[in-house]
Amino acid sequence: MTTPPSTPLDFSYETRPARVVFRPGAAVTATPGEVARLGLHRVLVVCGGRGEETARSVADALGDSCAGLHAGARMHVPAEVADKAVEVARATGADGCVAVGGGSAIGLGKAIALRTGLPLIAVPSTYSGSEMTSVWGLTENGVKSTGRDTRVQPRSVVYDPELTLGLPVPLSVTSGINALAHAAEALYAPDRSPLVSLMAEEGVRAMAGALPEVAAAPGDPEARGRALYGAWLCGACLGATTMGLHHKLCHVLGGTFGLPHAETHTVVLPYVLAHNAPAAPDAIAVLSRALATDDVPHALRELAGGLGAPRTLAELGLREADLAPAAEQVAAQSYPNPREVTAHGVLGLLTAAYEGWEPRG
Ligand code: NAD
């Protein structure tokens, strides 16, 4: 018996031109080839302070094709950080950019691409998925704005599981759940399609299976490879669809209330899925299959919490007095979601996530 399609057979799907190379060691062995394939001769390598050593090895492998290394990336791409990087790219005469690191480093590469039109190559070292999207983000005066632009979509993505061997377990777990959130919301996105649903299901299965293995043996290259494979698929779902309540809520909690990105996704996801479940039975059915459970919100919360991830918004520093303003802000914006978004409904789910109650719809 074949599995019935989980999405209506009425869709549009666009394939964007991006090349993916996935191989242990690829950061050093494949990046120079990707630079050459794009006809580039002087690329600027960008990274964050903690990722400088890894980025240096990529820069060294590039030899004469490297115009310089700029280790200025910071979380949420502050405008002055973007300005500085653009200045460095122009001063070095770079004809392209290679971003090595997590979502913050790739975000800085995207800021350069957006302003200068330089082609971007991404070498990700977390499971954030930014490398598979045309979404950019920039923070100015404490307010984060995001947009979509094909210029920032990396032309080539080099996935190297070896880069993630040193990703600390707590960050591996929360970054992995961040990836699962992309797949989960893609399953009920208005622009979902059968191919996205297949990628989402396989991505969730791979990531959820890999995380306990990564936590038990962080240096196991095979477990790391499976997690990164899941991150690729989940990131591709993010790039192909429009996200709903979960991503909007995390955006507000991070942008306005300063909560950490991956940890916030981890705490909030089970509560949003419990909230949306009655209006998204097909998405929940796919997630149930992928997670081998009949209670998706509970299973996700146990997966992350059982591996030591935070379970409440209170632990992340949110104050009780922030709940109502956050709910108002999330309800005031417009974005697609399977269930109607009201301030009352969001406040209910935020309160449950703040207290750490069992997620229920
Ligand atoms: P991050 O890039 O900020 O990295 C978190 C920390 O982990 C940093 O200190 C970093 O130096 C360190 N780190 C990264 N890789 C490491 C490794 N392999 N070993 C050891 N340490 C490592 O965090 P993130 O969660 O990857 O990215 C979050 C940012 O990306 C946010 O700003 C978010 O908004 C953005 N994002 C954007 C998109 C998009 O499509 N535009 C998608 C997802 C996330």
Distance 259 CA to ligand 1 centre (A): 14
- In the chain, pLDDT over 90 holds for what percent of residues? 91
Q: Which of 139, 164, 189 is the last residue of a domain?
A: 164
State the residue range of the domain holding 270.
169-355
Using the predicted structure, report yes or no on whether residue 323 has a pLDDT greater than 50: yes
On the CB side of 279, how many CA atoms lie within 13 Å of its CA?
17
- The confidence score (pLDDT) of residue 144 equals 80
Read off the tokens for 231.
């991150």
Query: Are 149 and 227 members of one domain?
Result: no
Q: How many domains does the chain have?
A: 2
Pocket test for ligand 1, best of 125, 150, 264 (most atoms within 8 A of CB): 125
Average pLDDT over residues 288-313: 98
| Residue whose CA lies nearest to ligand 1 atom number 29 | 103
- Binned at pLDDT 50, 70 and 90, residue 1 comes out as very low
Pocket test for ligand 1, best of 127, 132, 171 (most atoms within 8 A of CB): 171
Query: Are 230 and 208 members of one domain?
Result: yes
Distance 82 CA to ligand 1 centre (A): 16
CA distance 153 to 130: 9
Determine contact, residues 20/37, Cβ cutoff 8 Å: no
CA 165 to ligand 1: nearest atom? 18
Determine contact, residues 216/33, Cβ cutoff 8 Å: no
CA distance 351 to 254: 17
DSSP state, 335? -
Q: Which of 123, 149, 164 is the last residue of a domain?
A: 164
Is 350 part of a structural domain of the chain? yes
Is 6 part of a structural domain of the chain? no
- Binned at pLDDT 50, 70 and 90, residue 4 comes out as low
- Binned at pLDDT 50, 70 and 90, residue 3 comes out as low
Query: Are 198 and 62 members of one domain?
Result: no
- Binned at pLDDT 50, 70 and 90, residue 6 comes out as low
Q: Which of 164, 184, 205 is the last residue of a domain?
A: 164
- The confidence score (pLDDT) of residue 15 equals 81
Its pTM stands at 0.96
Is 9 part of a structural domain of the chain? no
Distance 285 CA to ligand 1 centre (A): 30
Using the predicted structure, report yes or no on whether residue 18 has a pLDDT greater than 50: yes
Axis crossing angle, helix 281-291 with helix 194-216, rounded to the nearest 10: 40
| Residue whose CA lies nearest to ligand 1 atom number 34 | 76
| Residue whose CA lies nearest to ligand 1 atom number 9 | 50
Is 11 part of a structural domain of the chain? no
Query: Are 187 and 298 members of one domain?
Result: yes
Kindly list the protein residues whose Cβ atom lies closer than 6 A to any atom of ligand 1. 48, 50-51, 75-76, 101-105, 107, 125-126, 128-130, 133, 135, 137, 163-164, 166-167, 171, 175, 238, 261-262
In sequence order, which ranges of the chain are alpha helices (DSSP H)? Answer: 26-29, 31-37, 52-62, 79-91, 103-116, 169-186, 194-216, 221-240, 245-255, 261-276, 281-291, 296-306, 323-332, 343-355
Determine contact, residues 109/118, Cβ cutoff 8 Å: no
Buried b (16+ CB within 10 A) or exposed e, 187-215: bbbeebbeebbbbbbbbbbbbbbbbeebb
Determine contact, residues 241/260, Cβ cutoff 8 Å: no
Distance 108 CA to ligand 1 centre (A): 11
CA distance 321 to 327: 11
Distance 164 CA to ligand 1 centre (A): 12
| Residue whose CA lies nearest to ligand 1 atom number 30 | 103
- The confidence score (pLDDT) of residue 256 equals 87
Distance 310 CA to ligand 1 centre (A): 18
Query: Are 191 and 322 members of one domain?
Result: yes
The CATH number of the domain holding residue 104 is 3.40.50.1970
| Residue whose CA lies nearest to ligand 1 atom number 42 | 130
Distance 135 CA to ligand 1 centre (A): 14
- The confidence score (pLDDT) of residue 280 equals 98
Is 345 part of a structural domain of the chain? yes
CA distance 98 to 55: 9
Q: Supply the mean pLDDT for the chain.
A: 96
- The confidence score (pLDDT) of residue 141 equals 84
| Residue whose CA lies nearest to ligand 1 atom number 39 | 130
CA distance 260 to 49: 18
Query: Are 219 and 150 members of one domain?
Result: no
Distance 337 CA to ligand 1 centre (A): 26
Distance 279 CA to ligand 1 centre (A): 32
- The confidence score (pLDDT) of residue 47 equals 98
